[in-house]
Copies of this chain bind each other. A is one copy, B any other.
């Protein structure tokens, strides 16, 4: 930031936000995609997003997109990474600040005037416009990491939920079965859930399950872990940059 003057208009860049909106629906991890109604990539599916307007925050720009594609009370939103390859958009230089969002599974997609919006299974994705496949791969990786060392899983569920529903959501996202007793021990010891007096009695047989809700104002914090008590592997084939967070 040493230049005295802002760059000339011609040297300014278009800045967009793109959202990877995840939800667990139909026992599957899904992401919200919008079909492009105009060139370039007309007809292709893409992450919902749009250009940042001069007076708004990046977070605001991202949050503003949400009601355009789905009905949702509160959603978890987090900035992910900024993608800025010079030719990622054929129209010209556009840098994209990627966000990911977590929604309770109930949210139905909401089409816009000329843009069809639909949930897609992350296991069965169409070809995506721009570099959105890369963005989505990255978002997915981050989502899994995040779920492993933080407890944002609630954001994928309605306000009240059973422990089994929570565990199932984790299993779906992580793609791996978890031990019931250990899962419950951990999540309860973490002291971020509050029992409600209510039970889920609905749908069919079986013993009714206690409903829990997420304790507001409980914030996950990674307990200071001494150095890296983990592992190291040889350089994997995975040829990706973006190894930030983890």
Q: Point out the residue from B12, B82, B170, B226 that lies within 8 Å of A12, measured CB to CB.
A: B12
Cα separation A105 to B242 with both chains bound (whole Å): 25
Which residues of chain A (20-66) have a CB below 8 Å from chain B? 34, 36-39, 46-59
Which residues of chain A (114-131) have a CB below 8 Å from chain B? 115, 129-130
Q: Does A191 sit within 8 A of B, measured CB to CB?
A: yes
- A186 near B228: Cβ-Cβ < 8 Å: yes
Please name all residues of chain B whose beta carbon is closer than 8 Å to the beta carbon of A207 when the two chains form the complex: none
27 A-B contacts (beta carbon < 8 Å):
A1-B132, A2-B36, A2-B49, A4-B38, A4-B39, A5-B91, A6-B14, A11-B51, A54-B93, A55-B86, A59-B241, A78-B244, A82-B97, A148-B224, A148-B227, A149-B246, A178-B227, A182-B227, A183-B227, A186-B227, A190-B231, A217-B234, A218-B234, A219-B232, A221-B233, A223-B230, A223-B233
User: Which residues of A pack against B, CB within 8 Å?
Assistant: 1-7, 9-16, 18, 34, 36-39, 46-59, 78-82, 84-86, 91-97, 112, 115, 129-130, 132, 145, 148-151, 170, 178, 182-183, 186, 190-192, 217-236, 241-246
